[in-house]
Each structure stands twice: as structure tokens, then as C-alpha cells.
Amino acid sequence: MSLKINNNDETRARLVNLDFLRGLFIILALDQHFTYYINMWYVDYFRDTMALTSTYAVHFPMIGKQVSSDFFNHFLAVVFTPWVSQIYLTMAAFNLAKKDQTTFGIEMLGKFKVFGFILLYFVLENFIVAPNTGQAISFYPIMLWMLILALISIVYKYVGIRGILVFTLLCMLRFVVPVEYISDFFEELIQNRIHPGFEYDARFEYFVLSGCLGFIMGYVHYHLPLYRHKKDFLFAGMGVLLVLIYFLIGDTFVVPMDDVFSTEHDLARTFSGTAYIIGIQAIIVSAFLWLEKKNIKVNLPLVNWVGIYSLMIFALHRILFVKLIAPISIMIGSLTGRTLGASSVEVFIYIFITLAICYFVKISPISDIVLQRKK
């Protein structure tokens, strides 16, 4: 009896609950990113020095100081920072597994063009928002996601799901082979030879297992009907065991209130921390897939809209904040006597402003006008 199935309706249908999760985690990522930019604004990003002794005098005492977040924002950082940027890759890899190996191979060139375009865009975006050349050439998560998705695509096309399983096992050797030292050497080499501000922030070994997890879960969901009624419990059960490993032998995850990114990858560096990251993702994705199977669909219009248009929002949010929202907030602060703050209320106001601008971009003909496209 064959385990495979080609259910075109199931493959084409959007999973509403994954749209919700994608939207929720994009909003949390915006919270994380905006909080970090505010943490470091007066250290790396403030540029209105010519006005510090006049109209911007209120900001003068803050120059060189980091801005701390409030309790709620710090709580969100502690809970979500280790895996919020990982689960987006997991869900992208889940969707990548929709097609069977033959169809996938035929369509792979088109996928590579998409991966390449997204990678190029975010390289250019980095040059727009970065405060120095070192950070402009740094390697950040979404760039790595494209490379991991491309690598998984190659393995699946030529070797199939068995190749993905072997690839996953090989990636686990990172806990035996000193990959971390190789990455450290590469980062130090670029820092010494090109620019000291360079960061090899999103390292292959930190993220690749999340991509593998997502693809395997997607493959089982779309192509193995034998496990249709128990797969969610199997993956969730595996996730619980992995999370227990972390709670038994893992170190406590700590986030400084004035720099939410400084410990972002601390858990991903260790076996127990990676177990936690993989485990919590398996639990959450499985739970929401099970709810979808029971026809319990979580559809909050704003959150699900963000999930559907997550790539557009992710593509615009840093530029909007660094080049538009924060400078305007700084200007308003100079008139009202307040400095930039990282309270959860303030950060979420910036998030909703960002989403409103993205909504305007989506519904308006601005892209057609700029690109001079005829309808």
C-alpha cells in the first residue's frame, strides 16, 4: 500500500491557522526589531546632531545611552526571542513541501528565482537601514532562510524525502563538529579585513534544523495519509520531549532590557537550547494544524491579513521605522519634551502605523505608478 497521496484540493487550500501563526509571529518580530532599534537609537542611529543644541536639545542627555524596554516588552522578548525568527522559516519550509518530488523538480527553477530576488532585495534593504558599512554587509536571518530553502529544494529534487532525512541527521553533527569555531573565524576574518561592524548574525547551524523540521512536517501533512490522524500528536509529543530536555539540562535564557538582540542566539548555540527551539515549534505548529483539521480556524482579520502579506510587511518594516517613523517620533519628541521610549504601548503604536502604511501600499496603485505599469 502506498503512503503517498496527491490531493490537489488539500494542496491548494490555504491553511487559515498557519496564516494566523505567521501573522502573529511577524507582529512579534516587528515588536522585537522596533524595540531593538529604540534600545540602540541614541547609540547607533541618531543623526540629527546639528540640532542637539537647539530644537533637539531634549535628546542631548540620551546620546550614547541605550533605552530600556518596559516589563511587558521584556517579557515578550524572553518568551519569543529564541524562536520567533526560527518559526517563520519552519512554516516557509512547511509550504515548500506541498508538491511531490517530480512536480517540485519541474518548478524548482521558478522557486530559485524567487529565493534569489528576495535575497537580493534584503541585501539592498540592509544598506538602506544599517548605521555603518559593517552592518550593511552583515548576514541576517531572512537572507539565510533563502539559502536554506534553496538547499533543501536541491536535496528534495535529487534525493527525495529520504535525502531530507539524511540531511537533517548530518546537520545534527554540528553538536559534534566544531562548526561554531569555523563561523567565529569567518566573522573575525571579515571584521579584521573589511569592517569591524560586520556580524555573521544568522548562522547556518543555528537555523537549518528549523528548515528541516518544517519541510518534514509539511511532507507528512501533504503526502503521507497513513499518518493524517496521528501526525499532529506524534510531532507534538516529540516537541514535548525536546522541551523537557531543555528544562532538565538547559541554562536559563536571559535578555537585557536595553538590548533585546544581544542574546538572541544563545539557545541556538547549545544542544539543549536547540531542542527547546525545535520542540516548541513542533508543539505550536502541530496544535494549530490539529485545530484546523477539527475545523476550528483562528481568523483574526488583522493578524491573518499580516500572515497573508507577511513578506511585504517584512520587506518594508525596517525601512519604514528607521527612515520615517522613528525620525518623525524624534521630531515630535523635541516639540513635546520627551525622548524616544521602548514601552510596549509606544512600540505597538509604531507597529500599527507600520501595518497601516503597508495596507495603504497594498491597496493603492502606487507600485503601478512608480513602475509605470499599465492596467
Closest by alpha carbon to 258, among 126, 26, 73?
73
pTM: 0.91
Could you report the per-residue pLDDT of 255-283, keeping only the tens digit for each? 999 999 999 999 999 999 999 999 999 99
Which segment of 5-14, 40-49, 235-244, 348-357 scores lowest on mean pLDDT? 5-14
Strand partners, 139: 200
Confidence bin at 370 (pLDDT 50/70/90): low
- Is residue 374 predicted with pLDDT exceeding 80? no
C-alpha cell at 14: 490555504
- Is residue 126 predicted with pLDDT exceeding 70? yes
Q: DSSP assignment of 230-299, as one string?
A: THHHHHHHHHHHHHHHHHHHPPPP---TT-TTTTTTTGGGSHHHHHHHHHHHHHHHHHHHHHHHTT----
Q: Return the pLDDT at 80.
A: 94
Query: Is 215:97 a contact under the CB 8 Å cutoff?
Result: yes
Confidence bin at 314 (pLDDT 50/70/90): very high
Confidence bin at 201 (pLDDT 50/70/90): confident
Of residues 150 and 13, more confidently modeled = 150
The angle at the Cα of 10, spanning 114 to 166, to the nearest 5 degrees, equals 60
Confidence bin at 371 (pLDDT 50/70/90): low
Give the chain's mean pLDDT. 91
Q: Return the pLDDT at 367.
A: 64
Q: Return the pLDDT at 7.
A: 46
- Which residue pairs from 352-356 have beta carbons closer than 8 angstroms and sit at least 24 positions apart in sequence? 353/325, 354/30, 354/313, 354/316, 354/317, 354/320, 354/321, 354/325, 355/302, 355/306, 355/313
Q: Return the pLDDT at 71.
A: 94
**What is the rounded distance in angstroms from the CA atom of residue 301 to the CA atom of residue 130?**
33
Could you report the per-residue pLDDT of 50-82, keeping only the tens digit for each? 889 899 999 999 999 999 999 999 999 999 999
Please compute the mean of the pLDDT values over residues 208-236 and round it to a whole number. Answer: 93
Q: Return the pLDDT at 178.
A: 86
Please compute the mean of the pLDDT values over residues 331-346 and round it to a whole number. Answer: 94
**What is the rounded distance in angstroms from the CA atom of residue 280 to the CA atom of residue 241?**
10
